[in-house]
Amino acid sequence: MPGMAGSTNVEVLSHITLGTGDVSDIEVEQDEDRPYAYVTRRMGGFDVVSLEDPENAEVIFSWTVENVELHQGGGSDTKYFKHDGRYY
Residues 6+ apart with CB under 8 A from 58: 16, 49, 50
Amino acid identity of residue 14, one-letter, is S
pTM: 0.76
Quick one: pLDDT at residue 11? 83
Average pLDDT per consecutive 10 residues, the chain (88 residues; last block may be shorter): 71 82 83 89 85 95 80 68 86
Quick one: pLDDT at residue 9? 84
